[in-house]
Structure 1
Amino acid sequence: MGKHRRLGGYRLLDEIGRGSTAVVHLAMDSFGREVAVKELQEEFVAEPEARQRLAQEMAAQARVRSGHVARLLDGRLDGERPYVVMQYVPGCSLGDLVADYGPPRRERLLRLARGMALGLADVHDAGVLHRDVSPGNVIVLGDRPTLIDFGIAREAGAEQLTRRGMVIGTPAYLAPELIEGGAATTASDVYAWAATLAYAATGRPPFGRGSLHGVCFRILRGQADLEGAPEPLAALLRRGLDRDPARRPAARWFAGALADWTGVSSGRSRALLA
């Protein structure tokens, strides 16, 4: 155990993720609990924008309280190696789950859809935009999904750190208005939720594979592939993938619409689907 590097009060055990500017470690705190520690890579420590982006991630995630969203636990931005500490979420990504085992059965799929909608609704209720809902950023354990990675999230109204015209997010799950240069909104998060679930329901990216240009073209044309997606989920996904963001219901609405179908009584969910 002595060979493991320490960062703050945390012992770094293993690398579990790596992005463009940061590394995520499985770590142990002073109570012996597993946590996830995200630290800036050494070459980005001196860049103010990288520190500011990490600070924005902390500020956004700190506002969210949800059983379906990884919690922020700790962090330090002023040291030699800035880091944030998050709840470690066991399980595997929705992307890996579908790639390895195929689409979940209808009942499980509906439960995953509702859990994801509840988590996203809690994010939005906290005044935060996630901006990168995608199969790689949903961890599944049993029937419980947890939304992770607030690396490009921001509080609504916070300063935009990306350059104008730069597309941020996972391209296959981007809302059309973002491809066209529009601002991120709760509606664009909802679109990404629906696109992510379309992948889970069919085992295929909803706008196909191939060149980025081709994928974006199909997104802009509204050519979503939902063949094989079970009802009532397919009907809901069509609403979430509406080309017009003003016509997409809120995440909380989708959670309510899915309630009766997952054994949770909402009193009016089936009527909402009509």
Structure 2
Amino acid sequence: MGTHRRLGGYRLLDEIGRGSTAIVHLAIDPSGREVAVKELSPEVAGEPEAIGRLAREMSAQARVRSAYVARLLDGAITAERPYVVMQYVAGCPLGDLVEAYGPLRHDRLVRFARRLALALGDVHDAGVLHRDVAPGNVIVLGDRPTLIDFGIAHEAGAEQITRRGMVVGTPAYLAPELIEGGRAAPASDVFSWASTVAFAATGRPPFGRGSLHGVCFRILRGQADLDGVPEPLAGLLRAAFRRDPAQRPTARWLAGALADKPSGGPVGGGPVTRRSGAAA
């Protein structure tokens, strides 16, 4: 039934997501359009730190324009219950889709991988780091992915409060430099892209399940399980998993390498040195 409570000019219908500090609702805007409204939970709605995080999320997402990224539509950070309004994306989270129907196959997998790389390229071109590319933050409709949740995203040059032992993001999909307390960079997102695509192809997190310590150990050792990922896609994933961030390809290069390539076709060569307009 939903609460049908109003928040600003939006009628809240149903809760569709919940995190440690925020609740996401399916809502209707004044023109009758479906939107997603993310509001801070009552317990933290007055806390400056939580409000600041929501403001950073809103600022970062507002910069991105992409056919494969959920658009920011509105927001009110100074409201009694601060909130942001985003495009409502129809579809299913990648993790739920793979669990219900199995891994993506053949050309559908290649199209998914390319479009997710295009999404990430658009994010980086806008001077933003997503920092949490993972199956739970990719909504899929057919073979079309949409990247969502900029809750820990940063604009280029923004302060990043991270240190060794502090895990920010989805642990099984984090780049090794972030596990070690290093600064996020476009190459860190590329590593997470590769982990997410590997999951889409196999139904398994590429660095396994189990304890956080064990998963992080395998990430740091570069022990990616790509069994079942078809070539030439597996070769691109191996390049994106390189331990040295400077040696990983950019999201734009990956999208270009995957363009119009069937699942068994050759992927063009070329440099894989990292370049991007989004500096950490």
Asked if Structure 1 and Structure 2 have the same fold, meaning a TM-score greater than 0.5 normalized by the shorter chain, the answer is: yes
Runs of 4+ in 1 over 4 A off after TM superposition: none
Cα distance, 1:2–1:228 mapped onto 2, change above 3 Å: closer
Which residue matches 2:171? 171
User: Contact conserved, 2:3 with 2:14, CA < 8 A, in 1?
Assistant: no
Q: Which amino acid counterpart does residue 61 of structure 1 have in structure 2?
A: Q
Which residue matches 1:112? 112
- 1:270 aligned onto 2:268: yes
Q: SS at 1:43's partner residue? A: coil
Query: 1:105, CA displacement in angstroms?
Result: 1.2
Which residue matches 2:256? 256
Unaligned runs of 5+ in 2: 273-280
Aligned pairs for 1:67-86 (under 5 A) are 67-86=67-86
Which residue matches 2:195? 195
For 1:271 and 1:130, the matched residues in 2 are separated by 27
Query: 1:270, CA displacement in angstroms?
Result: 2.4
Q: Which amino acid counterpart does residue 250 of structure 1 have in structure 2?
A: T
Q: Which amino acid counterpart does residue 63 of structure 2 have in structure 1?
A: R
User: Contact conserved, 1:14 with 1:26, CA < 8 A, in 2?
Assistant: yes
Question: Normalization by structure 2: what TM-score?
Answer: 0.93
User: Contact conserved, 1:94 with 1:136, CA < 8 A, in 2?
Assistant: yes
- 1:21 aligned onto 2:21: yes
Query: 1:164, CA displacement in angstroms?
Result: 3.5
For 1:132 and 1:44, the matched residues in 2 are separated by 22
Q: SS at 2:67's partner residue? A: coil
Aligned pairs for 1:52-131 (under 5 A) are 52-131=52-131
Aligned pairs for 1:147-162 (under 5 A) are 147-160=147-160, 162=161
Task: Choose between structure 1 and 2: higher helix proportion.
Answer: 1
For 2:262 and 2:30, the matched residues in 1 are separated by 39
Percent of counterpart pairs with the same letter? 75
The number of equivalent residue pairs is 269
Which residue matches 2:137? 137
Q: Which amino acid counterpart does residue 251 of structure 2 have in structure 1?
A: A
Cα distance, 1:164–1:220 mapped onto 2, change above 3 Å: closer
Query: 1:202, CA displacement in angstroms?
Result: 1.0
